[in-house]
Structure 1
Amino acid sequence: MRILLSIFGFLFLMAVAGGAGMLAIFWHFGQGLPDYTQLENYEPEVMTRVHASDGALIAEYAREKRVFVPISAIPPKVVDAFVAAEDKNFFSHPGIDFASVLRAAVTNVVNMGTGKRPVGASTITQQVAKNFLLTNEVSYERKIKEAILSFRIERAFSKEHILELYLNEIYLGSGSYGVAAAALRYFDKSLDELNIEEAAYLAALPKAPSNYHPVRNHDEAKARRNWVIGRMLEENYITEAEAQAAWSAPLLGKSRESVDTYQADFFAEEVRRQLVDRYGEGMLYDGGLSVRSTVVPRLQDIADKALFDGLVDYDRRHGWRGPITNIDLSGNWQQALREVETPADIPWDRAVVLDTDANEAKLGLMSGEQGRIPLRFLTWARPWQKGQTLGAVVNRPSDVLKPGDVIYVKHFAELDGETLPPNTYGLRQIPNVNGGLVAMDPHTGRVLAMSGGFSHDLSKFNRATQARRQPGSAFKPFVYLAALDKGFTPSTLVLDAPFVIDQGPGLGKWKPGNYSGQFYGPSTMRLGIEKSRNLMTVRLAQTIGMPTVVDYAERFGIVDEMPDVLSMSLGAAETTVMRLTAAYAELVNGGKKITPTLIDRIQDRRGNVIYRRDDRECSLCQDVEFRNQMPPDLPDNREQLTDPASAFQMVHIMEGVISRGTGRTIAELGYPLAGKTGTTNDSRDAWFVGFSPDLAVGVYVGFDDNRSLGDKEQGASAAAPIWKEFMRGALEGTKAIPFRTPPGIRMVRVESRTGLPAGPGAQDVIWEAFKPGTIPASNDNVIDGGYSGSGNSDNSAGAVSGPGGIY
């Protein structure tokens, strides 16, 4: 008996000592541990997603691709799969699974000396402690700290919260963090769309994601998936029949190719810049913002194609600059062709010239197939020469191409109704000219489409928002608008004659001229815009005063500060496509101030709206059951920039630009449209900006290095065709709507040359818009800007408050 008592006493003392030792260890390692209570307000690094106006995804920004999903929204089959695979006693242990620890210890003792990797027994709670609060250091000290934190976490949080932390944080390979991101990455499905075998596959990944890729390591991945299915069966999460069906199912990974994603690279990058400016990079890449942008994918596709095709058309008019490179055909030309780097967003094929004869060039394609370029598809490719001029005429393919040349080609099955021989291609080259296009809702400022250049891969520089260029004659409508606000009418006569002004000491004399080099005498203000007369514009600006012109330029947001210099009236002040398009939008909307915006709404990770474009109050819009009733009227708080009647007169004048003036090639579209061309000195910049009643569009074309587009190029030839093709696509299938006429405007039939009301039998009659009491009975006064012909002109000379003046 005494011996028995001694043994029990010894064991008791050992237990006490062991317990004390354990307490000492826990006390020692429990000091200075990370604060586990921070897990209560878990906010993981979540990707920001940018959506188009129709909800389609256009961009994702993240350091870690993660989609946060609360535990209440994670399907039970996903939870069951992970618990069965990773921690079968999760819902019953206190943070440490002692049975699993003992089993792992025995296994590791048995395996000592065999070279096998030690097995672990980490619970889901321990993995949460390690992933959130500790490092991946392999040591006993880290495991002890992990165990201590696991006990504390279990006491502080519910099992559901611990699972939410685990399933949203865990790395599951291929850049995917959390089960929601992994479901999209591997199966292109949301969590609630997963079946048993797919949930089991995701649960197979935590141990070694890179070892179980569904394509590269298919057999290993399927075996591991089937093991998880077996564990789910053992734990009675699924039935035998469900397990058999899941085991027999193939493992088919599917990338996110089917996701409804649109390419709008320049637009998305501009949104990204605005988000960084507003919230900082941390919020952008980790904050899980949901951004609803204003872009309309259909219009964006039309914009990209119109600008792409228009730049190519301009480039082809100015000749061939040579191949991408030249490769040696004596080796493996197919491999050499593949190694030639080209932008990913160019929709053409790469090819190498294998041979030429009198009728065609023979091509080798990356696929190994061969093709041909007929001579008639090469005749455009005359050599480019300095000054955007052309060299000798092409008579044979060898005048353009030689064997080994690597080129871009476009396949043609038919052309203008003619069926072409198989494997027929046309020669292409990347333009070195560039441009930008903006399409905007003129009533709200919402940017519906924006293209900032030929290729985003080649250049991230956005020529729609970042390129500051002179608008040239596209600025003139605002000079004429200022005159209309001062009492002039579209029929007011302005002198079109030589004009010279002394610019000041040492600056010489400024002598503007018309593009045609001709002078046309007294002409109506309408004609000054339709035919883009420089001399009339200068005289008009001189008459109303440059301070007034400066005020209108700044009021309409074209520039922030404009020098008070007469040459500015011809569009010498630099602006952007976005700003000028917004200014034109403010003409067609009746003179209301708008702010261009690319973002409709921003929500934080919890769905709270933190930004809304339309900030007007609407008490009747809240908690309303929709029963086909009319929406409530909201206040129009837009600033009035100009007289609505003057704005309409300007719109009506610019309709004439398309009907009879510099933009008349656009008239064939058959819609009410208005706009203005713009060309700067030496044809360095080409513009066309205009609108329909509900769509404002601006197009700019030019070289990034500001060189000339060529002597014969202007807004009508380089920019207007792009604008026309965009409008053709944008308005297709819509009804023709006339421009809205404000109250008080009277439409009068006038003679186009004199601007006076037309009598019976008059020829060349047009409709003109007049404000009340301004219909002219005669046109004796001619505005000359106070210019005396001496070469000196004073800003105040000849300034009048109405349409009077001296001739």
Structure 2
Amino acid sequence: MIRFITGIFGALFSAVTLGLVFAALGIGGLLFMYSRDLPDHETLANYAPATISRIYSREGQVVDEFAAERRLFISAEEIPDFVAQAFVSAEDRNFYEHQGYDPRAIAAAFVEAVRSRGRDVRGASTITQQVMKNFLLDGSRTIERKVREIILAARIERSLSKDRILELYLNEIFLGQNSYGVAAAAQTYFNAPLEDLTIGQAAYLAALPQRPATLHPVRDYDDAVSRRNYVLREMLQNGYITRDEMEQAQAAPLETVQGGHIEAYRGSIPPRNYFTDEIRRQLSNRYGEDEFFTGGYAVRSSMDESLQEVAEAALRRALERYDRDRGLWRGPQDRVDPAELTDEESWRGALARADIPRDIDGWYPAVVLAVGDSSARIGIEGVDEDADGHFIPAEDVTWARPVDADGNRGSQARVAGDLLSVGDVVHVRAMTRDSDGSFMRWTLRQVPEVQGAFMAMDVNTGRVLAMQGGFSYQASSFNRATQATRQPGSSFKPLVYAAALDSGYSPNTIVIDAPIEVETGDGIWRPTNASNQFYGPSPLRTGIERSRNLMTVRLAQDVGMETVARYAERFGVYDDMQPFLANSLGAQESTLFRMVAAYAMFANGGERVEPTLVDRIQDRYGRTVYRHDQRLCADCDLEQIDAGLAPRIVSNRERVIDPITAYQLTSMMQGVVQRGTAAGTVGGAGLGVPLAGKTGTTNDARDVWFVGFSSTIVAGCYIGYDQPRSLGRGASGGGMCGPVFAQFMREAIREYGGGAFEVPEGGTFYPIDRYSGQRLPAGSQGEHVVYELFREGEAPYEGLLSVIDGGWGMGSDLPMFGAGEGDAPEGGPAATAPEEATVETTGGGEARVPTGTGFGTLSSGGLY
């Protein structure tokens, strides 16, 4: 019997032993099989998560951010203990004890699943396992994935510290509302850094990993509070907080950004504008869009926020003024169902959902609630209703005629109902009295159909200070400063004159202003001045100041269009300029961005300057990966510098044109502002510092331009329809863009100053008669005298002057002499015959040149 019992126990022992052996072999084989081809867990040591790239103003304030996943990386050392403890309590209470997986938790989960017959299956994954799943494995719910997860978790525990594993987890995990990582979630839900969170707020964040979609702080408030309180109880049981702390946190309401209790972080950032979006576009091209949106770059922009606001306001004012003068109402921005306008809560909700630009300073979205016999009652976003309500009165709509979708115009509006219907979503602005700023009425506005762009930059560094690519970024994100290619028209002419001056011509060189015929192969091209008149021989200065088209074409022909094209390419206006004569009048398209950069090189004495919207870029580790200013600081390594001296900054910029040429051209463009095509709007603005610039108006006035500069700032503007068409009779660069430039420069000069343009070495000033181009005796003074700078050894000839005709004759029926429009002294006899001088033409003949020759048209000229 004993032997039998012993045999049974022996057999059982052998069976158990063999079973354990085979089980061990099976488990070993299973582990061996699943451990093959596992991802390299050691890559986590160099893990760099996708993080937000931020753009900062020059004052260091965040002005925009871009991200594929909204994540703010935070190191283990920066994570507050109570935040880490909240997540450990919620997700893995034995985190600091196990070796990557928790057998007790696995066993407990298995028992619970058996007891409930599969109805109650709770997770048993540790934080380490979740890191493996999130980083190295897929999210499939299979035994194979679980086994591989456990193997990797055990391995990573031997490679990384607990703090590093927790850092990976807290920076990677998704916590709802497009927030990845605990730092971004703290900002999203509570608009606070981690260190400023309360224990209750940290507990709510720790409650989110399991089901962020169903613990919304507003929709699922009760469940969210219940889960938060569970986490607080776990923190108490784990010894992380006291009972008083738990009870106090549980009693507090869950107040969040989503519930409207806390201002959203995005509310502290200005609306996205053309400037920051252009940075996004350029850096996406430089680094790749994926890298920029995930790389965590800190981008210090060159934007001057105050000047950016001025640029936006100045361009918008010009565009709206032009549009309102057309007197056409094109209808509402959007419409809402009138059935949604039953009460204030309803209409405010409907208006909040309406598609309407909200980035126009001083403009408010509004919805038409009722239309009466004369006025329309409106509800205004962000403005409280008063006892009587808000209205658009009849007198505010009489400026407009309604236009339907086919372009048909209705009758002039007399009452608000002629333009508006219930449910229309429109813009309104408060009209105030000029005398005391008191409110008068709400006035109807509309986003203009005409568009334009404005840009300003530092002439010496290339730092772009302001950029506005249209009326409203939210209405149209197309950046017309950098993306719209337009004909620059007469604003291109300074490049022709720069090529001439660098080629041996002088500011007093005489060029004939007379009719031209050019055989193009497609017919005869007959360019004309904007006035359709001809003014005879005139100095180069006159050609710039009065924007003479015929003088420019003759000069380009004489210099050679190949030479002009090389200069335009050198200045960066074009990559490949076609050497056609029409292009000397700005027929080939370019961008405002390129034109402003070209004018900066005139302003700084002829040195190349590359425009930039970015001063510096740092990567996620704080390393500088780009710096715009490459100038050398010769004294920055010295221990000390003598009192009263500053470090020497050595410029290593390429020279584009001779400094004498740059000054000559700047002086000639000062004449444009003082007495030429921009005299009324720019020269008459009383800005108090020397200014230079050039107007531009293309054929049929499809685009109007002005680009100008002081000694510190260059700025440019263009206005035109996106689908080019005529702006109408009277449209000109000086009249439409000149005021934009003047309004902006008034503030820019106040901030950056300005002074006389620097006179380069190697030149001498001589008095010149600006009508005839003749040299005058030393010390000459008077309205007709201008002091021109000439290179040493190239003093102006005191006798008769050569005349440039470009190879075309003058025509016997052309009046040789004339005062030119606007040239007669105010109140004086315009018909008085001018004095004359005999000159020699390039063909060897003689011509009589009037010393009183005028200097052109008040228009800016154009292509033809």
Q: What TM-score do you get using the length of structure 2 for normalisation?
A: 0.83
Q: Which of 70, 94, 97 is 2:102 aligned to?
A: 97
**1:514 to 2:529 alignment:** yes
Does the CA contact (< 8 Å) of 1:544 and 1:800 recur in 2?
Answer: no
How far does residue 663 in structure 1 lie from its aligned partner after superposition?
1.3
**1:34 to 2:53 alignment:** no
Instruction: Give the residue type in structure 1 aligned to 2:555.
Output: L
Structure 1 residues without counterparts, runs of 5 or longer = 792-797
Does the CA contact (< 8 Å) of 2:179 and 2:188 recur in 1?
Answer: yes
How far does residue 584 in structure 1 lie from its aligned partner after superposition?
0.3
Residue by residue over 1:230-251, the C-alpha shift from the partner in whole angstroms, topping out at 9 and shown as x without a partner, is 3223323334554454444443
SS at match of 1:426: strand
User: In the aligned structure 2, how far is the partner of 1:325 from the partner of 1:299?
Assistant: 29
User: In the aligned structure 2, how far is the partner of 1:680 from the partner of 1:641?
Assistant: 27
User: In the aligned structure 2, how far is the partner of 1:50 from the partner of 1:578?
Assistant: 21
Q: Which of 392, 399, 402 is 1:373 aligned to?
A: 392
Does the CA contact (< 8 Å) of 1:323 and 1:407 recur in 2?
Answer: no
**1:310 to 2:315 alignment:** no
User: In the aligned structure 2, how far is the partner of 1:8 from the partner of 1:412?
Assistant: 94
Does the CA contact (< 8 Å) of 1:318 and 1:389 recur in 2?
Answer: no
Structure 1 residue aligned with 2:221? 218
Structure 1 residue aligned with 2:79? 74
Structure 1 residue aligned with 2:113? 108
Q: Which of 85, 88, 112 is 1:83 aligned to?
A: 88
Q: Which of 162, 165, 168 is 1:165 aligned to?
A: 168
SS at match of 2:577: coil
SS at match of 1:732: helix
User: In the aligned structure 1, how far is the partner of 2:643 from the partner of 2:95?
Assistant: 52
Q: Which of 552, 556, 569 is 1:537 aligned to?
A: 552
Between stretches 536-545 and 443-452, larger displacement belongs to 536-545
User: In the aligned structure 1, how far is the partner of 2:608 from the partner of 2:715?
Assistant: 17
Q: What are the residue-to-residue correspondences of 1:379-528 with 2, within 5 Å?
A: 379-382=398-401, 394=412, 396-397=414-415, 401=419, 403-404=421-422, 406=424, 408-417=426-435, 424-496=441-513, 498-504=514-520, 506-528=521-543
Q: What are the residue-to-residue correspondences of 1:635-674 with 2, within 5 Å?
A: 635-664=650-679, 665-667=681-683, 668=685, 669-674=687-692
User: In the aligned structure 2, how far is the partner of 1:629 from the partner of 1:145?
Assistant: 70
Structure 1 residue aligned with 2:576? 561
User: In the aligned structure 1, how far is the partner of 2:644 from the partner of 2:41?
Assistant: 53
How far does residue 780 in structure 1 lie from its aligned partner after superposition?
4.4
Q: Which of 49, 60, 73 is 1:44 aligned to?
A: 49
Does the CA contact (< 8 Å) of 2:331 and 2:403 recur in 1?
Answer: no
User: In the aligned structure 1, how far is the partner of 2:500 from the partner of 2:786?
Assistant: 20
Residue by residue over 1:437-483, the C-alpha shift from the partner in whole angstroms, topping out at 9 and shown as x without a partner, is 12112212222222222233333322111221111111111222223
User: In the aligned structure 1, how far is the partner of 2:535 from the partner of 2:623?
Assistant: 63
Does the CA contact (< 8 Å) of 2:493 and 2:544 recur in 1?
Answer: yes
Q: Which of 348, 362, 365 is 1:349 aligned to?
A: 365
Q: Which of 327, 350, 354 is 1:319 aligned to?
A: 327
Does the CA contact (< 8 Å) of 2:335 and 2:425 recur in 1?
Answer: no
Q: Which of 613, 627, 633 is 2:628 aligned to?
A: 613
Q: Which of 711, 729, 732 is 2:747 aligned to?
A: 729
Q: Aligned in 2, Cα 1:407/1:163: closer, same or farther, shift over 3 Å?
A: closer
Does the CA contact (< 8 Å) of 1:353 and 1:361 recur in 2?
Answer: no
Q: Which of 39, 57, 61 is 1:56 aligned to?
A: 61
Q: Aligned in 2, Cα 1:130/1:267: closer, same or farther, shift over 3 Å?
A: same
SS at match of 2:512: strand
Q: Which of 228, 233, 236 is 2:231 aligned to?
A: 228
SS at match of 2:328: coil
User: In the aligned structure 1, how far is the partner of 2:337 from the partner of 2:244?
Assistant: 61
How far does residue 315 in structure 1 lie from its aligned partner after superposition?
0.8
Q: Aligned in 2, Cα 1:203/1:760: closer, same or farther, shift over 3 Å?
A: closer
Q: Aligned in 2, Cα 1:403/1:171: closer, same or farther, shift over 3 Å?
A: closer
How far does residue 372 in structure 1 lie from its aligned partner after superposition?
3.0
How far does residue 703 in structure 1 lie from its aligned partner after superposition?
1.2
Does the CA contact (< 8 Å) of 2:358 and 2:364 recur in 1?
Answer: no
**1:139 to 2:142 alignment:** yes
Between stretches 177-186 and 213-222, larger displacement belongs to 213-222
User: In the aligned structure 1, how far is the partner of 2:638 from the partner of 2:255?
Assistant: 45
Instruction: Give the residue type in structure 2 aligned to 1:697.
Output: A
Does the CA contact (< 8 Å) of 2:515 and 2:534 recur in 1?
Answer: no
How far does residue 328 in structure 1 lie from its aligned partner after superposition?
10
Q: Aligned in 2, Cα 1:27/1:635: closer, same or farther, shift over 3 Å?
A: same
User: In the aligned structure 1, how far is the partner of 2:671 from the partner of 2:701?
Assistant: 23
SS at match of 1:787: coil
Between stretches 166-175 and 394-403, larger displacement belongs to 394-403
Does the CA contact (< 8 Å) of 2:429 and 2:444 recur in 1?
Answer: no
Residue by residue over 1:154-184, the C-alpha shift from the partner in whole angstroms, topping out at 9 and shown as x without a partner, is 2232222221221111111111111121122
How far does residue 699 in structure 1 lie from its aligned partner after superposition?
0.8
User: In the aligned structure 2, how far is the partner of 1:237 from the partner of 1:398?
Assistant: 66
User: In the aligned structure 1, how far is the partner of 2:730 from the partner of 2:168?
Assistant: 66
User: In the aligned structure 1, how far is the partner of 2:468 from the partner of 2:92?
Assistant: 52
User: In the aligned structure 2, how far is the partner of 1:192 from the partner of 1:326?
Assistant: 44
Percentage of matched positions with identical amino acids? 42
Q: What TM-score do you get using the length of structure 1 for normalisation?
A: 0.88
Q: Aligned in 2, Cα 1:768/1:407: closer, same or farther, shift over 3 Å?
A: farther
User: In the aligned structure 2, how far is the partner of 1:26 from the partner of 1:594?
Assistant: 64
Does the CA contact (< 8 Å) of 1:289 and 1:602 recur in 2?
Answer: yes
Structure 2 residues without counterparts, runs of 5 or longer = 258-262, 813-839, 850-864
Q: Aligned in 2, Cα 1:434/1:174: closer, same or farther, shift over 3 Å?
A: same
How far does residue 744 in structure 1 lie from its aligned partner after superposition?
4.0
SS at match of 2:714: strand
Q: Which of 604, 610, 620 is 1:589 aligned to?
A: 604
Q: Which of 673, 678, 700 is 2:696 aligned to?
A: 678
User: In the aligned structure 1, how far is the partner of 2:74 from the partner of 2:355?
Assistant: 40
Q: Aligned in 2, Cα 1:374/1:638: closer, same or farther, shift over 3 Å?
A: same
SS at match of 1:489: coil
User: In the aligned structure 1, how far is the partner of 2:333 from the partner of 2:273?
Assistant: 27
Residue by residue over 1:626-672, the C-alpha shift from the partner in whole angstroms, topping out at 9 and shown as x without a partner, is 99996643432211111112211211221222222211222323332
How far does residue 276 in structure 1 lie from its aligned partner after superposition?
2.8
How far does residue 688 in structure 1 lie from its aligned partner after superposition?
0.5
Q: Aligned in 2, Cα 1:738/1:176: closer, same or farther, shift over 3 Å?
A: same
Instruction: Give the residue type in structure 1 aligned to 2:783.
Output: D
Does the CA contact (< 8 Å) of 1:435 and 1:699 recur in 2?
Answer: yes
Structure 1 residue aligned with 2:585? 570
Does the CA contact (< 8 Å) of 1:77 and 1:196 recur in 2?
Answer: yes
User: In the aligned structure 1, how far is the partner of 2:638 from the partner of 2:110?
Assistant: 61
User: In the aligned structure 2, how far is the partner of 1:626 from the partner of 1:60?
Assistant: 40
User: In the aligned structure 1, how far is the partner of 2:654 from the partner of 2:729?
Assistant: 42
Structure 1 residue aligned with 2:806? 785
SS at match of 2:740: helix
Q: Which of 378, 384, 389 is 1:364 aligned to?
A: 378
Structure 2 residue aligned with 1:301? 309
Instruction: Give the residue type in structure 2 aligned to 1:546.
Output: M
Q: Aligned in 2, Cα 1:483/1:133: closer, same or farther, shift over 3 Å?
A: closer
User: In the aligned structure 1, how far is the partner of 2:645 from the partner of 2:217?
Assistant: 54
